[in-house]
Structure 1
């Protein structure tokens, strides 16, 4: 951490401007229910210019309580513009509660100068903004940060060298590692990358350009995701997006392209109290759990809230919980008002039970209990006696296994009925017997699979499902890994399926689903050994699952055998 010494020069007097927040933001604010009563009327000082690290102008809006007094400041930096939803969600709501809120457009977006880049400028531009804050007459030297998704990334970027004024962070469904967002598991996360590019490119331009681009992407999604080669195909819907080309064509985390991209190391030495908020069906969930683990190992004060949310529903159905959690953390650490903090470090929503559970930590470190697939499509706790082939299927990239729900940025995210997916010939299912009593699964899920292929090139997608008494199969969590096997020899593949907190009710059954992909969520494996971005041809593959495969479930102590 760099030592800083600041001269305390007298600040000029500040007269609050008379402006009100934008009408669209006030209208959206009026629609929210179950939020704390406002404490102050809100003023608005729009379109301020903050010099970036290289002098580029960063367009900035300032929201403030219309009252006498000393108020802490929240910094929100966004590449998605400064209007709806950020203006009401952060600017108005938190200013109502007694905070100055600075909402800034990242360089190259929302009228700010310079060229946008996914990661190369955020640490320096964040520091430059804090330097500007020090000169503002209303800034009292107490700073917090808050924001969702990429608005979380910029917080970690600032925390690489946290300024002394930074006293609290609230990272909501935020990432710290762009490479992992695009390539975790070895396959390109195609649909999420396209939706991210849509938002990054068009949302800061306003509602009309964003809506037109979203409709254009929807119309062209099949054409774009089935293109050969995949490289550059997105231009038909999104135009040229240089950083997306770079992300797609550099799959290796060690490639120089990704130097400086991950800012996760900030959590390894951070002392700033940090609140993490995530969703079980959010694409950033694994990064949130990694952030929490790093903060805990560093001894940093932290809390974790995980709800039944997707990336977007956390700010729709879940907004009352997310806002209350965020506000309590900021009041405790910026205003010396800890009354709203919950006593537990971790709170998770348990699916199936539809209830919140307070925990001392995450994960609970239960023993992972193996469940083994059987030749007749069963799932049992009895270990197999050999590694004989269990079942096989043919994956054809010309007719790729489709995705159904899961951790997506789109509206199709989350739990879905998997019936039509599981009826396909290229999907295997292994299902346990009806449970005689409820079974709780809390923690990370892994499938240890022994797999062989006839070509050596395949993806393996594994999914945990809850099957009810009527036979309806709903996805809980999943994961995919890209394999290179030695011809037809079997090899073991560990498929991380993320984590969950879920109760399987009595009468329900546990199901392990196996397939060769989930398209267009993941770019299909062409089967030729070529990179997905550049493959010009497709080749089918036969995938065989062997009997010494296992689904590892972190059961609670009472449920473990």
Structure 2
């Protein structure tokens, strides 16, 4: 394997983009992979993408995005990536080793730059592999107008420090962990996080200051439209607790509707563990897809477009599509804390609780960017007075939930302002309650009248085993994952006072679960036997 370091590629505005070229030592023509990153060109990008893929027979062009890793110009969260990607492809056309066959690969923001390039794909682009990837920055930072606070601060640390090297990055992450509570409970919240980050990135202040998805600020940020007309074969990889999983499912749906060749792999991973514990599967899937579409070698492709890990069964399932054909079953809460399939006869209150923003309901696990993401025992959380739980009977046969989960809530409040956080949990025979998927929405009520709100709770493939119980958890927030609702009607970033809110849940609230037939399961195959589908 060879390496050319310190190459300079002119960006769309002429700024120098610092680039490295990894290549096989053997003679012959090889396709090229473009990997553009705002996180530097060292660990883990050099060994995981530069070295590893060059050893598999690819030229790898590893480049620092504008304003990062020594590249010139100023970094912008999304506005330069399409133009700079096309400028890099134009530069490639002049390289004697470039044979005109191009693929892209990479995770997270490295997925966003792929979608940006795909908005107007150059003719050389023949395959993409988007791993735990982003296409909509707004949805990364906000949920129904509520700041995804913990994610925003984690992104702030990553974008500011990772391209500076391992030591500055680790120090910044540790500082954020130490100061997270102070930074996220300050009044007002706006700007208070600067001490936790060691700086206040201008772009971070901007994204948090625009909570409305329709704000002109976000115009052009989402690259969702690229998937609606794409013809470049694209492999998508995510995990059930990946903070960008919903975006991956959106990408897959658009690609399939457009008739674009696409594959989907969903593992038992978080955003970060997909590239750690999940790396054998992720690498095998990526390599098989790239070989099939760049090297005309489909031998590693699996026979179906979708492979998902079925939680609760610890097994893999191959599917023809996602989500699979299914029926949706409704579950209803009762005042005594039971969860039932029996339809209620009225909309009287089920129960009420008091949400105090001065002691906000804490977040626990779920789809985060931090190391606290994933499945966790919710027992301590569910013991709080501000968390409602409704639990079904022990199951007499396995129940599979496959697809998007949602809650239709009927809620009234005394202040008129609230958030509702709702979570699906799996309770085992010993009473351990583990989160499966969840979601949050904001609502406003008037005059004590119940408001109707539908809360998307993410997508899952999970088997509730015999003897286990389904649990529906409802609260007024999950802090600091989401900024708390101050109860005053002020925006969460600008609130200077906090008012407790009494939240009442009514019986016509519904938990909607996509039930599937019990699947035939695949034993977890060895890493080399987990490639992607190519049809």
Provide the secondary structure at the position in 2 that maps to 1:173.
Answer: strand
Residue 417 of structure 2 corresponds to residue 417 of structure 1 = no
Counterpart residue number, 1:244: 204
Aligned counterpart for 2:64 among listed residues 95, 105, 126 = 105
Unpaired stretches in structure 1, ≥5 consecutive residues: 1-41
1:516 counterpart residue number: 476
Mapping for residues 84-103 of structure 1, pairs under 5 Å: 84-103=43-62
- Structure 2 match to 1:461: 421
Q: Deviations over 1:212-232 (max 9, x none)?
A: 111211111111100111111
2:100 corresponds in structure 1 to 141
Contact persistence 1:461–1:517 (CA under 8 A): yes
Give the match for residue 359 of structure 1: 319
Alignment deviations for residues 97-121 of structure 1 (CA, whole Å, 9 cap, x no partner): 0000001000100000000000010
Q: How does 1:442-453 map to 2 (within 5 A)?
A: 442-453=402-413
TM-fit CA distance, 1:187: 1.0
User: Which residue of structure 1 aligns with residue 172 of structure 2?
Assistant: 213
Which runs of at least 4 in structure 1 moved beyond 4 Å after TM superposition?
none
Q: Which residue of 2 aligns with 1:254?
A: 214
Query: Aligned pairs, how many?
Result: 518
Q: How does 1:13-28 map to 2 (within 5 A)?
A: none
2:395 aligns with 435
* Contact 2:487/2:500 (8 A) holds in 1: yes
Instruction: State the partner residue of 1:117.
Output: 76
Q: CA contact under 8 A between 2:396 and 2:467: conserved in structure 1?
A: yes
Contact 2:35-2:61 at 8 Å conserved across structures: yes
Give deviations 1:73-95, integer Å, cap 9, x for gaps: 00000000001101111111110
How big is the shift at 1:183? 1.0
1:368 maps to what in 2?
328
- The answer to whether the aligner puts 1:188 opposite 2:147 as a matched pair is yes
2:133 is aligned with 1:174: yes
Query: What does residue 39 of structure 2 align with?
Result: 80
Contact 2:444-2:451 at 8 Å conserved across structures: no
> Which residue does the alignment assign to 1:308?
268
Is 1:342–2:342 an aligned residue pair? no
DSSP 3-state at the match of 1:555:
strand
- What SS does the corresponding residue of 1:455 show, helix, strand or coil? coil
Q: Using the alignment, how far apart are the partners of 1:487 and 1:410 within structure 2?
A: 40
Instruction: Name the CA distance, whole Å, in 1 between partners of 2:448 and 2:517.
Output: 40
Match of 1:537 among 486, 497, 511: 497
Partner of 1:507: 467
Work out whether residues 348 and 507 of structure 2, in 8 Å CA contact, stay in contact via their aligned partners in 1. Answer: yes
Query: Counterpart of 2:525?
Result: none
Q: Deviations over 1:459-483 (max 9, x none)?
A: 0000000000010000000000011
Q: Counterpart in 2 of 1:18?
A: none
Residue in 1 aligned with 2:243? 283
- Per-residue CA deviation, residues 96-152 of structure 1 (Å, 9 max, x unaligned), is 100000010001000000000000100100000000000011100000000000000
The answer to whether residue 320 in structure 2 is matched with residue 320 in structure 1 is no
Task: Tell me, yes or no, if structure 1 residue 389 matches structure 2 residue 349.
Answer: yes
| 1:186, distance to aligned residue in structure 2 (A) | 2.4
Q: How far off is 1:256 after superposition? A: 1.3
For the Cα contact (< 8 Å) 2:398–2:518, is it kept in 1?
no
What is the aligned partner in structure 1 of residue 230 from structure 2?
A: 270
Query: Alpha-carbon deviations, 1:187-230, whole Å to 9, x = none?
Result: 10000110011000000001111111112111111111001111
Distance 1:135 1:368 in 2: 55
The answer (yes or no) to whether the contact 1:395–1:541 under 8 Å persists in 2 is yes
Deviations, residues 330-359 of structure 1 (Å, cap 9, x unaligned): 000000000000100100000000000000
Q: Deviations over 1:405-448 (max 9, x none)?
A: 00000010000000100000000000000000111110000011
1:38 aligns with none
SS at match of 1:157: helix
Alignment of 1:2-81 (within 5 A): 42-81=1-40
Deviates more, 1:148-157 or 1:532-541: 532-541
- SS of 1:87 mapped into structure 2: helix
- Per the alignment, residue 39 of structure 1 pairs with none
Which 5+ residue runs of structure 2 have no aligned equivalent? 520-535
CA distance in 1 between partners of 2:452 and 2:291 (Å)? 49
In 1: Cα distance, 2:111 partner to 2:458 partner: 20
Please report how far the alpha carbon of residue 557 of structure 1 lies from its aligned counterpart in structure 2 after TM superposition: 4.0
Distance in 2 (alpha carbons) for counterparts of 1:457 and 1:525 = 8
Evaluate the alpha carbon distance shift between residue 255 and residue 99 of structure 1 in structure 2; reply closer, same or farther with a 3 A threshold: same
Q: State the TM-score, normalizing by the size of structure 2.
A: 0.96
Corresponding residue to 2:364 among 375, 383, 404: 404
Q: Structure 1: how far apart are the matches of 2:293 and 2:488?
A: 54
Contact 1:455/1:487 (8 A) holds in 2: no
Q: Distance in 2 between matches of 1:159 and 1:283?
A: 22
Aligned partners of 1:89, 1:227: CA distance in 2, in Å? 39
- In the other structure, the counterpart of 1:26 is none
SS at match of 1:212: helix
TM-aligned CA deviation for residue 365 of structure 1: 3.2
- Does residue 1:201 correspond to 2:174, yes or no? no
More displaced stretch, 543-552 vs 233-242: 233-242
User: Match of 2:489, SS?
Assistant: coil
